[in-house]
Amino acid sequence: MKKTAPDKQSNAGASADRTVQNDGHELWNSGLSMLDEIAPRINLEEGIHAILRKPELELTVNVPVTMDDEQVKVFTGYRIQHSSARGPCKGGIRYHPGVDLNEIRALSALMTWKCAVVNIPYGGSKGGVQCDPMHMSEGELCRMTRGFTKMILPVIGGKRDIPAPDMNTNEQTMAWIVDTVSSIKGNMELEIVTGKPVSLGGAAGRKEATGRGVAMCVKELLKRKRLPIENTTVAVQGYGNVGSIVAVTLHELGCKVVAISDITGGRYNPRGLDIPALNTYVAAHPKGLLEGYKTEDADRITNEELLSLKVDLLIPAALENQIHAGNVNSIKARMVIEAANGPVTREADSVLNNREIVVVPDILANAGGVVVSYLEWVQNLQCFMWPAEEVNANLERTMKESFNSVWNLAHKHNVSLRIAAYMLAVEKVAGVMRLRGLSHSTE
């Protein structure tokens, strides 16, 4: 049987380079280091600080799957809930060979801060399965998803922990989860996940929400830097669902997207790429990749070459830890917008800050997905649907308000946008914990 990716757009650029392995340990330590740095800035109590340094719940499962060749393979998966202080936990499920416990821990904490930054009444969680979906058939992915869902079912639910799509998962994955849970419980459980197909209770615009949210942050940043959006040069690393939507949206707004890349490499044209033509090609590719794309107007480049281009905006939209100590000095962009989770390491972030390269942090820049996921969840609970125009209007209002809050706090305290975003997020979570008495008693 032919092996197929679960979704052309979901996989296109999910990893910037398959030779680069995730470093979940570094990502988790980076998150703890950031929390430790923020704590004295907001006079965080020792008890609350200690609670927030550890996830509330960690579940590791081993999922047996009968493959198409009738061999049984066992996949390791995780579901981690970092904090439920502000509401039910919320976080995606990713399928990738580099998934590990520390990566999921770190991403669950990022979700806590992300939800707080955009003032969504959720806590943070994350899930993942260590697998290579690029070499699995749809049937294998379906069986693995159903098995994983059954194993994490005791800790998820519409009022407890709501999964969503993430790297290499999509609307179809969420539909399989809905069906699995509904079959077990004997009633329709639409609110169990977000990011579903619209025909199955999904929100209009959810698939594009993360990318649109990134583009909205770009607009707000350029406005405050008093830079025209027309002809602003952009390089996008990672051409999956998020990266491609960012590129399309910015192209439509008048930006000059000069470079894009995915796991097969990149394309570069200093005069601007033909984004509509690229998207047509990617949509027709069996795995949604740039592989084989030929044009006289663009040169082939590597992912590392893309990162070092002299552009106005560099948008890493692939894996974490892409900008690190080893390549940060080659960054020539004026501004970096983190469309991926944790694409800039702590050490590299410090270097960029010292060089006065503005970085819009992930917990703000890519929060558009969870904003619309919240709207989808509310729709499911109320058995009500909003039109796409209203969903997009809510997304834009929330992203603008959140960017404004972070920007103003950064200038008030003369700190980076990252520090300001974390100050805002940690204080919101801590404030609710104080109200609930969570730092004093477990009764």
Beta strand extents in 122-240 (DSSP E only): 123-130, 161-165, 233-237
**For this structure, is 256 an active site residue?**
no
Asked whether residue 124 is domain-assigned, the answer is: yes
Q: Are residues 188 and 224 in the same domain?
A: no
Which tens digits make up the pLDDT trace of 40-62?
Answer: 999 999 999 999 999 999 999 99
Asked whether residue 97 is domain-assigned, the answer is: yes
Question: Which of 90, 114, 126, 287 is the catalytic position?
Answer: 126
Which tens digits make up the pLDDT trace of 240-265?
Answer: 889 999 999 999 999 999 999 998 99
Q: Are residues 236 and 258 in the same domain?
A: yes
Can you give the pLDDT at residue 440?
A: 62
215, 229 contact by CB (below 8 A)? no
Can you give the pLDDT at residue 15?
A: 38
Asked whether residue 3 is domain-assigned, the answer is: no
How far apart CA 80 and CA 56 sit, in angstroms, is 8
What's the whole-model pTM score? 0.91
Q: Are residues 250 and 168 in the same domain?
A: no
Q: Are residues 216 and 342 in the same domain?
A: yes
Tokens at residue 33, please? Answer: 């280091």
Asked if the model's pLDDT at residue 443 lies above 60, the reply is: no
The average pLDDT across 60-86 equals 98
Asked whether residue 283 is domain-assigned, the answer is: yes
Beta strand extents in 272-422 (DSSP E only): 299-301, 313-316, 335-337, 358-360
How far apart CA 367 and CA 208 sit, in angstroms, is 12
Asked whether residue 414 is domain-assigned, the answer is: no
Asked whether residue 399 is domain-assigned, the answer is: no
The average pLDDT across 424-442 equals 88
- Final residue of a structural domain among 140, 173, 200: 200
Can you give the pLDDT at residue 3?
A: 43
Q: Are residues 242 and 261 in the same domain?
A: yes
Tokens at residue 71, please? Answer: 């061999």
Residue 131: name the closest of 177, 165, 100, 95 by CA: 95
Tell me what the pLDDT averaged over the chain comes to.
92
Tokens at residue 150, please? Answer: 């059954």
Asked whether residue 35 is domain-assigned, the answer is: no
Task: Sort residue 414 into left (φ over 0), alpha (ψ -120 to 50) or beta.
Answer: left
Q: Of 55-69, 344-358, 380-394, 428-442, which range is least confident?
A: 428-442
- Final residue of a structural domain among 200, 226, 257: 200
Q: Are residues 157 and 233 in the same domain?
A: no
Asked if the model's pLDDT at residue 16 lies above 50, the reply is: no
Which tens digits make up the pLDDT trace of 163-191?
Answer: 999 999 999 999 999 999 999 999 999 99
Which tens digits make up the pLDDT trace of 276-308?
Answer: 999 899 888 888 888 888 888 889 999 999 999
Q: How many residues does the chain have?
A: 443
Percentage, residues of the chain above pLDDT 70:
94
Q: Are residues 169 and 94 in the same domain?
A: yes
Asked if the model's pLDDT at residue 95 lies above 50, the reply is: yes
Find the CATH number of the domain harbouring 218.
Answer: 3.40.50.720
> Which residues form the domain of 292?
208-365
Asked if the model's pLDDT at residue 105 lies above 70, the reply is: yes
The average pLDDT across 60-69 equals 98
Of residues 12 and 376, which shows the higher confidence score? Answer: 376
Can you give the pLDDT at residue 395?
A: 97
Can you give the pLDDT at residue 258?
A: 97
The average pLDDT across 315-332 equals 94
Reported as a pLDDT band with limits 50, 70 and 90, residue 21 is: very low
Look at the chain and report how many structural domains it folds into: 2
Can you give the pLDDT at residue 6?
A: 41
How far apart CA 443 and CA 418 sit, in angstroms, is 35
Q: Are residues 295 and 216 in the same domain?
A: yes
